[in-house]
Homo-oligomer: A and B are copies of this chain.
Amino acid sequence: MKSTDADSREHGPIVNAQKAGGAPRLIALDWGTSSLRAFLLADDAVVLEQRAMDRGILHLPSPGGRKGFEAAFAEAVGRWLGQWPTLPVVASGMVGSAQGWQEVPYVPCPADVRALADHALRLPTPLGKDLWLVPGVRYDPVAGAPDVMRGEEMQIAGALELQPAWAARARVVLPGTHSKWVQVDGGRVTVFATHMTGELYAVLRQHSILGRLMPISAATALPDAGGSAAQAAAFTSGVDAARGSAAGELGHQLFAVRTLGLTGRLATDVLGDYLSGLLIGHELVAGLAASATARSAGAPLLLIGDAALCRRYVDALARFDVRADAVLDNTAPRGLWALARAAGLLPRDSIAPTT
């Protein structure tokens, strides 16, 4: 079942984790802005095979639009469907946004997998196969602006599948371009907030005066990811500056990235680490404060995302004397499995636990 088609846009190893006796049951797509990840799943969400492609909704094959989505879809799952034409196909992420293939309205908080399955949208495709699009989630506070997520809800659903206690109550943090801080209660997403940490880092580094002193080659990295002790120290300094900050101070504290470099107090090749620490630190200040009540009530703190980025959050959390209760890799396949099960898309024999 190993892939043989050479697709130059496909990157990363194709994992063939087929277990003995695991027949394919579901094709699950995590289809975001910049990438498309496709999973062939057996019972209990076991990943038999996966593909990662640079086919996010902003990188569709020519000519883009509906034709682009159709072409990317065929690229991602055509071979699997050729072999197993009866498999159901589900997709989460920006593919269901206003800029996606077909918009699926957000489901309001509190939202659980049941509600998401009830509002999934069935989209016919040229492969003669329907694609089930998962809605995102909207949080509308009594006061203040609304917040939205698309894709993260399946990561969260996957995590809650792993431990019944987490489904009862948890604080879930998904670091990234637009980090999410999510509160879960009784299996439902009840409250969440987006922090633009990753995007702020990228635009400030690439387009502001703060990037001017930074060597182009200097990537931010902690020691366990190949970085130096000086980089780790700069990162920690940034976190500590954020930790001691008052309201409104980020715009001021950012200027320190420049002055610490100008005055030689930080080497230019660690200024990016300081900036990273400062921004992640600010996110933690706000996120930990907002989730303090849930923390007091004993809700565990779960980190889900890229391992190197999660490691930064673990180190930053340590400066606040906070420990993550679990650090999870991509839990989207398991969440999409739960969604398909709730939507009645799986054959009856695959619904029962396999262990």
A residues sitting closer than 8 Å to B (CB atoms) are 98, 138, 144-148, 178, 193-197, 199-200, 203-204, 206-209, 241-242, 245-256, 259-260, 262-263, 265, 279, 281-287, 289
Contacts and interface: CB of A to CB of B under 8 A. Distances in A.
Summarize A's interface: helix, strand, loop or mixed.
helix
A252 B289 contact: no
- Nearest 8 Cβ contacts at the A-B interface: A248-B285, A145-B256, A248-B286, A195-B251, A248-B282, A194-B255, A207-B207, A203-B207
B254 A196 contact: yes
A258 to B, nearest CB: 8
Nearest to A138: B263
Contact of A242 (B203, B248, B283): B248
Given A203-B204, A207-B203, A254-B196, A247 B146 contact: no
Given A144-B241, A203-B208, A265-B146, A197 B259 contact: no
Contacts of A256: 144-147
Q: Which of A242, A285, A286 has the most CB of B within 10 A?
A: A286
Interface centre among A146, A252, A289 (most CB of B within 10 A): A252
Contact of A246 (B204, B247, B259): B247
Given A246-B286, A246-B289, A286-B246, A251 B200 contact: yes
A286 B254 CA distance: 13
B195 A255 contact: yes
